[in-house]
Structure formats: C-alpha cells, structure tokens
C-alpha cells in the first residue's frame, strides 16, 4: 500500500484467492489472497499475501491483518466478494467473521457474475428440467462435437432456423428471464425507496428467484449458493 494513501472516506473491501506458482521454487502451488480497498475514484492494493488455505477462518484472518496494518477498520463499510461457501457461510464464512471482528454490519456486494449464473441455472431448469448430475448432458454433447463444427464462418442462430419445439423453448426461456429481471429490478427500487423493507409476502410461485435484494442477511446458504425462497411474481 502506498504510504500516501490516507483516506477519509468510506471504503469497500475486496478480496479473492487464487492458487499460484510458489515464489520459492516455481513448481508447487500456494494459495494467495489479493486484498484491496476502493472508493468512488480510487483503488488501493493492500497486499497479496500467502494464505495457509482457503477456509473462511484463514481468509478472514488474512484480510483483517492487512486492514488493521493499514488502519482502515473505521473506513470499511462494505465487502465485494464471490459467492463461495468459504466467504458466504452464515456461521464460519469469511464475511461473517470480518463483520464480527470489525463489530459492525457491512454491505455485502456479491459478484453479479455468480448471481446471474444462479438466475440462468433456474431458468434452464424451469424450461429443460433438473439435471441428474454436475454435467448437463446437452452441453456435454456440444463440447464433444465442437471440434467437428465449422467454426470458420460463425453465424448467429436465428428464430427461423429453429424447429417449432426449439422456438417454444426459446420464447419460454426469454419469458422467464424477463420476469426474473423485472422482479429483481422492482425489488431494488422498493429497497431503495423504503430502506427498512426487508420482507416479501411468502406466497407460492412457479418462479424461483435468488434473494439478491435481501443483502446482507439471508442471501446465501452455507454452501455458497444464493438463498432460494418462493416469492410470487406480479
């Protein structure tokens, strides 16, 4: 961290871990955690220390050590994170441990890429049915046959090239996506205009949505997945 970095503004704390070649021999791998803070116009890297492992406890200790060394405890108001179980576990996760150590609630800014993956997974299952294993058979067949696909002249798949069943699936999937996005947008507006609002009527609904508007509490389960509760769409 730069010695001239003495912020007087609220900061968001970011971190992410990655296995990298060891600096000692270049052959073995070691877990390193990149930690930085940001505000509206500035980002500052605090460090990329070695972490003993990727558990929530060790990650939290590694992050907090750099925060304390930089005397930024009072500036931190939020955390930007990916949705792994090590981060989001509601008992032993790094986020909960960091909140406890700093003795204040923080805004959880979960990676939108990971959240949208969950949204797409729900849309796919609603349209195509649940998967029986970690690998989707349709995607596996595409992966296996990809080398024989003519990739020299890629063209977008147009509705006119689809069979009637495929077109029905396409329209159904687009409908699910639009409802999910409209619902999340309306919930964000509701939370913006009414900050105290934290709950929704728990009615049965055919649409399963990630509770991304319920940050920071109740968003993710102990496996690092977004909390799935049934909320009725309008």
Indicate the domain borders of the chain.
11-109, 112-147+160-230
pLDDT for res 171: 84
Transcribe 28-53 into DSSP letters.
Answer: SEEEEEEEEEE-SS-EEEEE--EES-
Q: Which residue has the higher pLDDT, 192 or 146?
A: 146
Q: State pTM to two decimals.
A: 0.55
In whole angstroms, what is the distance from residue 56 CA to residue 66 CA? Answer: 16
First to last CA, the chain: 49
pLDDT for res 4: 58
Question: What does the block give as tokens for 211?
Answer: 């509770």
> For domain 11-109, which CATH number applies: 3.30.420.40, 3.30.230.10, 3.30.420.10, 3.40.50.620?
3.30.420.10
Neighbouring CB atoms inside 10 A of 186's CB total 13
Q: Are strands 107-110 and 43-47 parallel, antiparallel or unpaired?
A: unpaired
In whole angstroms, what is the distance from residue 59 CA to residue 16 CA? Answer: 9
Q: What's the pLDDT tens digit per position in 5-43?
A: 677 889 999 999 888 888 887 778 888 999 999 988 888
In whole angstroms, what is the distance from residue 178 CA to residue 121 CA? Answer: 14
pLDDT for res 69: 92
Q: What's the pLDDT tens digit per position in 46-76?
A: 999 998 888 999 999 999 999 999 999 999 9
């Amino acid at each position: 961290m730069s010695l001239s970095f003495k912020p007087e503004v609220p900061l968001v704390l970011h971190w992410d871990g990655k296995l990298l070649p060891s600096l000692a021999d270049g052959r073995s791998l070691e877990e390193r955690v990149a930690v930085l803070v940001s505000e509206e116009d500035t980002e500052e890297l605090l460090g990329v220390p070695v972490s003993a492992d990727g558990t929530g406890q060790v990650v939290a200790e590694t992050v907090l050590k750099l925060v304390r060394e930089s005397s930024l405890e009072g500036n931190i108001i939020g955390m930007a994170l990916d949705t792994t179980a090590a981060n989001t576990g509601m008992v032993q996760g790094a986020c909960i441990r960091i909140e406890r150590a700093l003795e204040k609630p923080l805004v959880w800014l979960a990676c939108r890429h990971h959240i949208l993956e969950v949204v797409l997974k729900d849309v796919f299952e609603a349209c195509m049915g649940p998967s029986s294993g970690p690998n989707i058979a349709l995607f596996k067949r595409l992966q296996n046959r990809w080398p024989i696909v003519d990739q020299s002249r890629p063209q977008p798949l147009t509705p006119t090239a689809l069979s009637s069943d495929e077109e029905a699936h396409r329209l159904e999937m687009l409908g699910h996506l639009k409802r999910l996005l409209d619902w999340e947008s309306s919930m964000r507006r509701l939370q913006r205009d009414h900050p105290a609002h934290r709950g929704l009527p728990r009615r049965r609904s055919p649409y399963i949505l990630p509770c991304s508007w319920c940050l920071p509490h109740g968003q993710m389960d102990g496996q690092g997945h977004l909390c799935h509760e049934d909320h009725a769409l309008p």
